[in-house]
Amino acid sequence: MPDHAFRHHPELKSRIEDPETSFFRDFDLEEVDKVMLANGFDLDYRHPDAVREALRRDMLAERPAGDLWVFAYGSLMWNPALIFEEVRRAHTPDYQRSFCIWDDGGRGSKETPGLMGALDVGTGCTGFAFRIAEDRIEDETYHLCKRELIMDAYLARFIPLETAQGRITALTFVANHDCDVIVSDLSLDEQARMIAQASGFLGTSREYLESMAAHLAEFGISDPYVEDLLTRMRR
């Protein structure tokens, strides 16, 4: 990525993975399907390609004119797999990180389900906003939606963000409470117990939470919810 993309935060240049080398840039959903089938899952785990493309089109119809901002709050922060022109530290006061996606597959199992992260209504979240040039929106949102809209756990939404350089509106992906994998009624201790025990064919929920906490610390971002959840999980 060019140096100018990191002009507000030059320290991030070595901490954000080059999109050209990211697995998520060009991963093949048919190969993912093979892995899911081999692990006992049906192919209805994800949206058909045509449905995902229709969701992407609906999303783009609602976007503001000009370049596109994308708000990252989880692994997109350090591995966006997007070609961007600018990155800013950004904050939403209306949402927070939440481990509310029931996972009985990748990092959990039927016997020991885990939890994965989402963005849900809450008390605030600091992350990164990436600006995609208008002439790259078509290509970049194709890659982005293949990753974020693979299933119906997320909804694409445009939300206001505060940055040191001014207020912006950005695309992000929030928890879809009409989807049965979203569980929002678990206590912190229940979340911590599930994450501590869960393991699946992609690894453990513990590794996922620890990775998120470590990256947030590296970026100098304090998230009391993530920090509290990590402490409870390690008890």
Q: Is the predicted pLDDT of residue 176 greater than 90, yes or no?
A: yes
pLDDT for 109-167, tens place per residue? 999 999 999 999 999 999 999 999 999 999 999 999 999 999 999 999 999 999 999 99
Q: Structural domain tally of the chain?
A: 1
Q: What is the C-alpha to C-alpha distance for residues 158 and 173, in angstroms, rounded to an integer?
A: 9
Pairing of strands 86-92, 125-132: antiparallel
Residue ranges making up the domain that contains 193: 3-233
**pLDDT mean over 179-208:** 96
Cα–chain center distance at 155: 11
Q: At a CB cut-off of 8 Å and minimum separation 6, what does 225 contact? A: 96, 97, 98, 122
Neighbours of 195 (CB within 10 A): 26
Cα distances from 12 to residues 5, 18, 40, 131, in angstroms, run 10, 11, 40, 15
Q: Is the predicted pLDDT of residue 41 greater than 90, yes or no?
A: no
Question: Concatenated DSSP letters for 137-151?
Answer: HHHHHHHHHHHHTSS
pLDDT, residue 18, reads 95
Q: What is the C-alpha to C-alpha distance for residues 90 and 73, in angstroms, rounded to an integer?
A: 10
Per-residue b or e along 23-40, where b marks 16 or more CB atoms closer than 10 Å to that residue's CB: ebbeeeeeeeeeebeeee
CATH number at residue 148: 3.10.490.10
Q: Model confidence at 45, in pLDDT bands (50, 70, 90)?
A: confident
Q: Is the predicted pLDDT of residue 194 greater than 90, yes or no?
A: yes
Q: What residues act catalytically?
A: 148
Percentage, residues of the chain above pLDDT 90:
93
pLDDT, residue 182, reads 98
For residue 44, give both structure tokens: 């209805």
Q: Is the predicted pLDDT of residue 87 greater than 90, yes or no?
A: yes
Closest CA to 170 of 70, 93, 80: 70
Q: What is the C-alpha to C-alpha distance for residues 62 and 49, in angstroms, rounded to an integer?
A: 20
Token pair 């949402």 is at which residue?
Answer: 95
pLDDT averaged over the chain?
A: 96
Q: Model confidence at 170, in pLDDT bands (50, 70, 90)?
A: very high
